[in-house]
């Protein structure tokens, strides 16, 4: 790790000012990706702005037919929240499968979504549920938020404050893990909403999380694993590495999608 | 059996300090004024070093010194060596290329140390290292061992033309060829025994200190054999005379072989500590461990097994290319030869065996002994062939094995090993019972109903442990003898310090060795402390590896205890005013046969030291005895492991659903510790079979250089293991011990792969059987079925 300056922000306005003023600054929102990367000297921000002491950034709230989760809410808190478990069990389950207990106690939903790791779990839920990312500046629809590997629609001085998940009729997340890292090699989130069906895939895309329109169309006719039988995803544009070729990942998307639909019931 | 004696499942004495954080590992040691060294490692697999400019780095804060290979070469010290000479078929010695502790002129693998920076703190050393300018000319790299010796392949070392270290062989080529020709059936397989990264929990570490007053060095480091390290560093590197070098291996957090070897880092720390006049400390980061700890396995093998019409094995022919990496590590030459081909008879009577091994250099991390060392590779060859042979012959794999088992002992194999004792039918039979082998068909149908493929696989393995008779290994080219030493120091109050030349780095010697002493002397194990790992305390010893500490180390202890008892009886005879021959020692009490006269252990030990009651002209005061024990044969632990898997055909994911292990380790000192060794070994073997994959790209970059890409076994990769034992005592050592440390890692890979190939009805898969490769194999099967 290289030397850096640690700053503790007491409010969002102060954090935004710091982001604007400090040279090469990064937000610390749990740091479960950032800190190991810094330790390996692969990232070297000059300034770290810790958001963890800002009031009101964590917690879960039911607002009408939406679940609103503060950006600094830990994976553990999402996984164990009775409100999430009752209203959006698929999301609680997803959070319970992230990393290991140490990661889940410290890692946060906002940190994960802002980082947009192509193998992370939360992007699949945000896109799969058609969530809204709420920032210090605006509200961003999930479909507009994730741009590419580790890239989002966030401006340099924009901070995620909440994520609002519309509660679906049915939803499930199933992932197949990379055996080494245990990140998702392929993770599929399916949701049946009153207005639409969404199928979002993480782990497999060469440019991050994506939706599968052909699966969504098929499931619109009938929300059943049978509807997906015989449907395939093209290997073009999928990631390929020692853990999974693009062809294997394409195959797993189909398998995981069918299982997610079955699990959603 | 007493509560803490031989055979008792005593809780490990050492665990309290380990699990409460009170262990003392090398990195816990801080010496006054210590500086920290950072090794600058080549980012290229093969590159000429044109120039190194450390001027800017030298001006960085805290920098003490910067040294290159040229600086080290100026000291005119020796190279690192491989201490076991293997001869080629033509009688020529192996082609060992120079291995300088810091590369001179050329880097030969990613991770090869090319310069060092010493600074006040580790971070300063690392910061400055980034400013050292190194001008490399990248050369084409040799990565694939199968192509290393091919014409047109770049040369790595001048000393080894065609990158070939040796072309070795064992057995009768003609008779084996004839057996194959005459066979009713020949089973042929080709496979890769995958390269593994050891990954001990504690990374390698060293602190070296030079005392100018006494002109002597002290080296604390994570080693499995501190005395051998001292000998090599003294006699071959030439850093200091043996009596001016103290090597201490304190608590060591796992080794699995990787800490047997003498590496560049400890040598450079020693040299640099004198050069800069400060203690020099190094602790590897995990990434460094991946690219500098000696790796394991890495064989490319073609093998053929001949059967007659009854399913009797009539011959075995094996050709192996062994990848030894960029340099020959300390014992690398012996692993794919004497520790491999000598075990190719397995548990079977095979009249003719012929094995050729070509060892090659490549631009990869050096390869040396790793848990099992040669024997897992041999077991994999034999057990895969036997299982596939049974399938091809339409025979039950258990029945085919029974038909071929060695039945009478001693048995001379056709590959030099002399099996002394065993009962292979007994362990197979017990394993079949425990596993409910008969119920497999029912379980398979159940799995099918759930859309899963179920498979079962055996490994009836044998290994040679208790390394080793010194004269024999000398004939085979070893540079050392492999006896062991022990010293029993009895204190006046009767408590005991037991000094051993073995070294513990997870095995539990502090408990098991104490149990042997406690049983013999009739004292509680709390009164026995085990001293090891310090060349100033223990006079000499060969360390711990190859499952030798029980069979060889404990045998030395028994020999020393014999002497202690004999001397104590003399003292007791004077104390009890009886003839020495009438003294009986039992349960910690000396009695005069046929009388009620007795003396307790503590009374006699005190008398030995106060020396009031015996003529010191006849009996020396004190009670301290030492012994050196040289084994007369290897020991041959063997057993039967059965693995049952369930495969998800949609994903290729394999779950091990049942595991039965029935091992014959001879006499067991502590069954709980032995069971733990089986668990750990099986986990490591399952890691090799399912998960662990060392991948180099064609340019020689280590793709799997961290836990993000290198998969280690975790608890959820294993079922609850059923572990049991059968016992035939080893006839060649006093307690009948065979050894247990490596068995699991030896048996498991073959058992797992036999189960997987059974489940998927295809032999076309190598380790590790990852979900992707199982799925791909299944795709091939269904394609060929569709075509048929």
Q: Which residues of chain B does A245 touch, with a Cβ-Cβ cutoff of 8 Å? A: 772
Inter-chain touch A255–B650, beta carbons under 8 Å = yes
- Contact between B457 and B752 under an 8 Å Cβ cutoff? The reply is yes
The span from the CA of A3 to the CA of A5, in Å, is 7
* Nearest CA-CA distance, residue B774 and chain A, Å: 11
- Contact between A41 and A27 under an 8 Å Cβ cutoff? The reply is no
Token pair of A115 as six digits? 């980082």
Longest CA–CA separation in chain B, Å: 94
Whose CA is closest to B557, among B607, B623, B484? B484
Q: Which residues of chain B does A38 touch, with a Cβ-Cβ cutoff of 8 Å? A: none
Q: Which residues of chain A does B692 touch, with a Cβ-Cβ cutoff of 8 Å? A: none
Q: Report strand pairing: A60-63 vs A66-70.
A: antiparallel
User: For the packed helices B397-404 and B375-393, what is the interaxial angle rounded to 10 degrees?
Assistant: 110
**3 state DSSP class of A31:** coil
Q: What are phi and psi of B164, to 5 degrees?
A: -100, 125
Q: What are phi and psi of B638, to 5 degrees?
A: -155, 165
Q: Which residues of chain B does A181 touch, with a Cβ-Cβ cutoff of 8 Å? A: 707-709
Beta bridge partners of B282: B206
Q: Which residues of chain A does B775 touch, with a Cβ-Cβ cutoff of 8 Å? A: 248, 251
Region B489-518: what's the mean pLDDT? 97
At B2, the pLDDT band (50, 70, 90 cuts) reads confident
Indicate if the pLDDT at residue B573 is higher than 90. Answer: yes
* Nearest CA-CA distance, residue B775 and chain A, Å: 8
- Supply the pTM of this predicted model: 0.97
Instruction: Kindly report the three-state secondary structure assignment for every residue of B484-516.
Output: EEEEEEECCCCCEEEEECCCCCCCCHHHHHHHH
pLDDT tens digit sequence for B22-54: 999 999 999 999 999 999 999 999 999 999 999
Q: Which residues of chain A does B710 touch, with a Cβ-Cβ cutoff of 8 Å? A: 180
pLDDT tens digit sequence for B319-368: 999 999 999 999 999 999 999 999 999 999 999 999 999 999 999 999 99
Q: Of chain B residues 116-155, which have a CB less than 8 A from chain A?
A: 123, 126-127
Angstrom CA distances, B634 to A170, B548, B551, B580, stand at: 65, 9, 9, 36
pLDDT tens digit sequence for B445-466: 999 999 999 999 999 999 999 9
Closest alpha carbon within chain B to A244: B772
The span from the first CA to the last CA of chain A, in angstroms, equals 47
The span from the CA of B218 to the CA of B247, in Å, is 6
Indicate if the pLDDT at residue A185 is higher than 80. Answer: yes
Region B752-762: what's the mean pLDDT? 98
Inter-chain touch B709–A1, beta carbons under 8 Å = no
Closest alpha carbon within chain B to A249: B772
Q: Of chain A residues 26-55, which have a CB less than 8 A from chain B?
A: 40-41
Strand order in the sheet with A60-63: A60-63, A66-70, A160-166, A132-135, A139-141
pLDDT tens digit sequence for B633-654: 999 999 999 999 999 999 999 9
Whose CA is closest to B547, among B639, B656, B416, B413? B639
- Beta-strand ranges (E) seen in B201-340 are 205-211, 216-221, 245-248, 280-283, 299-307, 313-323
More confident residue, B788 or B418: B418
Region B689-709: what's the mean pLDDT? 97
What rounded mean pLDDT belongs to chain B?
97
Q: Is A167 exposed, middle or buried (0-12, 13-18, 19+ CB in 10 A)?
A: middle
The span from the CA of B384 to the CA of B744, in Å, is 16
The span from the CA of B482 to the CA of B471, in Å, is 9
At B62, the pLDDT band (50, 70, 90 cuts) reads very high
- Which residue in B127, B691, B695 is closest to A179 by CB distance? B691
Inter-chain touch B123–A245, beta carbons under 8 Å = no
The span from the CA of B75 to the CA of B418, in Å, is 47
Q: Which residues of chain B does A2 touch, with a Cβ-Cβ cutoff of 8 Å? A: 127
The span from the CA of A62 to the CA of B230, in Å, is 69
Token pair of B353 as six digits? 């065996």
Region A92-97: what's the mean pLDDT? 98
Strand order in the sheet with A210-211: A170-177, A184-192, A197-202, A210-211
Token pair of B256 as six digits? 């699995």
Q: What are phi and psi of B93, to 5 degrees?
A: -70, 155
Q: Does A8 touch chain B (CB under 8 A)?
A: no
Whose CA is closest to B237, among B265, B207, B201, B278? B265
Q: What is the DSSP letter of B695?
A: -
Q: Of chain B residues 230-289, which have a CB less than 8 A from chain A?
A: 287
User: For the packed helices B509-521 and B555-575, what is the interaxial angle rounded to 10 degrees?
Assistant: 30
Region A32-54: what's the mean pLDDT? 95
Q: Give me the pLDDT at residue B3, please.
A: 85
DSSP secondary structure letters along A167-217: PPSEEEEEEEE-TTT-SEEEEEEEEE-SS-EEEEEESSBTTS-EE-HHHHH
Q: Report strand pairing: B496-500 vs B653-664.
A: unpaired
The span from the CA of B547 to the CA of B781, in Å, is 41
- Contact between B39 and B126 under an 8 Å Cβ cutoff? The reply is no
Q: Which residues of A49-71 are buried (b: 16+ CB within 10 A; e: fewer)?
A: bbbbebeebbebeeeeebbbbbb
Q: Does A251 touch chain B (CB under 8 A)?
A: yes
pLDDT-above-70 percentage for chain B: 100
pLDDT tens digit sequence for B160-209: 999 999 999 999 999 999 999 999 999 999 999 999 999 999 999 999 99
Q: What is the DSSP letter of B236?
A: I
Q: Dihedral of the CA atoms A244, A248, A249, A252 (nearest 10)? A: -130
Inter-chain touch A244–B772, beta carbons under 8 Å = yes
Q: Give me the pLDDT at residue B1, please.
A: 53
Region B713-736: what's the mean pLDDT? 97
Q: Is B24 exposed, middle or buried (0-12, 13-18, 19+ CB in 10 A)?
A: exposed
Beta bridge partners of B737: B666
Region A115-135: what's the mean pLDDT? 98
pLDDT-above-90 percentage for chain A: 99
- Contact between B349 and B716 under an 8 Å Cβ cutoff? The reply is no
- Contact between B533 and B503 under an 8 Å Cβ cutoff? The reply is yes
Region B611-621: what's the mean pLDDT? 96
Q: What are phi and psi of B62, to 5 degrees?
A: 80, 0
Inter-chain touch B772–A248, beta carbons under 8 Å = yes
Q: Does B61 touch chain A (CB under 8 A)?
A: no
Whose CA is closest to B307, among B428, B380, B391, B376? B391
Q: Does B692 touch chain A (CB under 8 A)?
A: no
Q: Which residues of chain B does A255 touch, with a Cβ-Cβ cutoff of 8 Å? A: 650-651
- Contact between A29 and A71 under an 8 Å Cβ cutoff? The reply is yes
Angstrom CA distances, B109 to B41, B196, B325, stand at: 9, 16, 8
Indicate if the pLDDT at residue B599 is higher than 60. Answer: yes
ipTM of the complex model:
0.96
Inter-chain touch B708–A180, beta carbons under 8 Å = yes
Q: Which residues of chain A does B711 touch, with a Cβ-Cβ cutoff of 8 Å? A: 179-180
């Amino acid at each position: 790790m290289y030397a850096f300056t640690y700053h503790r922000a007491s409010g969002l306005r102060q954090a935004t000012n710091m982001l604007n003023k400090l040279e090469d600054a990064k937000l610390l929102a749990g740091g479960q990706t950032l800190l190991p990367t810094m330790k390996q000297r692969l990232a070297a921000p000059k300034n770290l702005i810790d958001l963890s002491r800002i009031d009101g950034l964590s917690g879960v709230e039911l607002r009408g037919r939406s679940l609103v989760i503060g950006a600094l809410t830990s994976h553990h808190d999402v996984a164990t929240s009775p409100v999430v478990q009752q209203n959006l069990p698929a999301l609680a389950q997803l959070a319970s499968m992230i990393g290991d207990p140490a990661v889940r106690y410290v890692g946060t939903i906002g940190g994960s979504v802002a980082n947009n790791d192509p193998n992370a779990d939360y992007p699949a839920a945000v896109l799969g549920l058609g969530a809204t990312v709420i920032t210090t500046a605006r509200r961003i629809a999930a479909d507009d938020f994730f741009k590419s590997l580790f890239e989002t629609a966030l401006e340099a001085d924009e901070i995620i404050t909440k994520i609002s998940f519309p509660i679906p009729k049915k939803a499930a997340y199933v992932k197949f893990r990379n055996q080494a890292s245990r990140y998702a090699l392929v993770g599929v989130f399916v949701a049946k909403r009153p207005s639409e069906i969404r199928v979002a895939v993480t782990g497999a895309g060469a440019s991050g999380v994506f939706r599968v329109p052909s699966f969504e169309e098929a499931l619109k006719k009938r929300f059943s694993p049978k509807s997906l039988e015989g449907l395939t995803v093209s290997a073009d544009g999928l990631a390929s590495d020692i853990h999974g070729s693009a062809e294997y990942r394409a195959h797993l998307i189909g398998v995981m999608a069918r299982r997610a639909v079955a699990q959603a019931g | 059996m007493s509560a803490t004696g031989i055979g008792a499942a005593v809780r490990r004495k050492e665990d309290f300090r380990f699990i409460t954080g009170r262990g003392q590992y090398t990195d816990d040691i801080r010496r006054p004024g210590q500086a920290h060294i950072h090794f600058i490692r080549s980012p290229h697999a093969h590159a000429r070093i044109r120039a190194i400019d450390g001027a800017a780095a030298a001006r960085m804060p805290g920098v003490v010194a910067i040294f290159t290979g040229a600086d080290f070469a100026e000291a005119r010290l020796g190279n690192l060596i491989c201490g076991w000479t293997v001869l080629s078929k033509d009688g020529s010695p192996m082609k060992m290329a120079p291995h300088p502790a810091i590369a001179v002129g050329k880097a030969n693998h990613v991770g090869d140390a090319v310069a060092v920076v010493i600074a006040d703190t580790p971070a300063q050393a690392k910061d400055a290292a980034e400013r050292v300018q190194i001008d490399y000319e990248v050369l084409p790299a040799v990565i694939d061992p199968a192509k290393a010796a091919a014409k047109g392949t770049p040369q790595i070392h001048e000393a080894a033309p065609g990158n070939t270290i040796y072309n070795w062989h064992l057995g009768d080529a003609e008779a084996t060829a004839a057996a194959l020709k005459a066979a009713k059936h020949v089973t042929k397989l080709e496979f890769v025994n995958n390269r593994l990264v050891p990954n001990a929990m504690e990374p390698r570490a060293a602190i070296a200190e030079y005392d100018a007053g006494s002109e002597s060095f002290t080296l604390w480091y994570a080693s499995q054999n501190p005395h051998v390290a001292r000998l090599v560093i003294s006699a071959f590197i030439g850093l200091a005379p043996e009596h001016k070098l103290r090597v201490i291996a304190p608590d060591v957090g796992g080794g699995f072989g990787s800490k047997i070897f003498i590496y560049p880092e400890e040598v450079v720390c020693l040299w640099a500590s004198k050069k800069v006049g400060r203690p020099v400390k190094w602790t590897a980061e995990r990434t460094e461990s991946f690219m500098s700890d000696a790796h394991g396995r890495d064989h490319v093998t073609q093998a053929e097994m001949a059967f007659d019409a009854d399913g009797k094995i009539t011959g075995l022919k094996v050709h192996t290319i062994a990848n030894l990496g960029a340099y020959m590590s300390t014992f690398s030459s012996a692993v794919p030869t004497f520790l491999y081909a000598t075990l190719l008879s397995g548990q079977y009577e095979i009249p003719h065996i012929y094995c050729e091994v070509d060892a090659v250099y490549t631009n990869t991390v050096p390869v040396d002994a790793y848990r099992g060392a040669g024997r897992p590779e041999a077991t994999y060859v034999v057990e895969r062939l036997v299982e596939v042979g049974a399938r091809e012959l339409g025979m039950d794999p258990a029945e085919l094995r029974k038909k071929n088992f060695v039945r009478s002992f001693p048995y001379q194999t056709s590959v030099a090993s002399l099996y002394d004792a065993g009962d292979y039918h007994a362990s197979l039979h017990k394993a079949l019972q425990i596993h409910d082998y008969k119920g497999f068909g029912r379980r398979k149908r159940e799995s099918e109903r759930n859309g899963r493929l179920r498979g079962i696989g055996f490994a009836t393995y044998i290994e040679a442990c208790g390394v080793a008779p010194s004269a024999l290994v000398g004939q085979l080219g070893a540079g050392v003898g492999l006896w062991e030493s022990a010293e029993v120091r009895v204190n006046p109050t009767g408590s005991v310090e037991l000094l051993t030349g073995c070294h513990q780095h997870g095995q539990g010697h502090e408990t098991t060795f104490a149990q042997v002493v406690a049983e013999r002397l009739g004292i509680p194990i709390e009164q026995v402390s085990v001293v090891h790992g310090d060349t100033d305390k223990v006079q000499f010893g060969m360390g711990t590896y190859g499952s030798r500490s029980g069979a060889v180390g404990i045998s030395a202890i028994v020999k020393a205890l014999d002497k202690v008892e004999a001397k104590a009886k003399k003292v007791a005879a004077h104390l009890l005013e009886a003839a020495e021959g009438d003294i009986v020692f039992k349960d910690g009490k000396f009695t005069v046969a046929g009388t009620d006269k007795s003396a307790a252990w503590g009374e006699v030990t005190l008398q030995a030291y106060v020396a009031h009651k015996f003529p010191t002209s006849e009996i020396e005061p004190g009670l301290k005895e030492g012994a050196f024990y040289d084994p007369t044969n290897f020991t041959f632990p063997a057993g039967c492991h059965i693995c049952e898997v369930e495969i998800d055909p949609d994903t290729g994911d394999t779950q091990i659903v049942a595991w039965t292990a029935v091992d014959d380790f001879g006499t067991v000192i502590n069954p709980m510790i032995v069971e733990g060794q089986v668990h750990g070994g099986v986990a490591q073997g399952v890691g090799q079979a399912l998960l662990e994959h060392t991948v180099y790209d064609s340019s020689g970059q280590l793709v799997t250089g961290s836990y993000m890409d290198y998969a280690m076994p975790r608890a959820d990769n294993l079922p609850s293991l059923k572990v049991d034992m059968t016992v035939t005592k080893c006839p060649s050592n006093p307690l009948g011990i065979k050894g247990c440390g490596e068995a699991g890692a030896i048996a498991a890979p073959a058992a797992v792969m036999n189960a997987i190939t059974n489940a998927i009805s295809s032999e076309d898969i190598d380790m590790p059987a990852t979900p992707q490769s199982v799925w791909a194999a299944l795709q091939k099967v269904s394609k060929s079925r569709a075509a048929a």
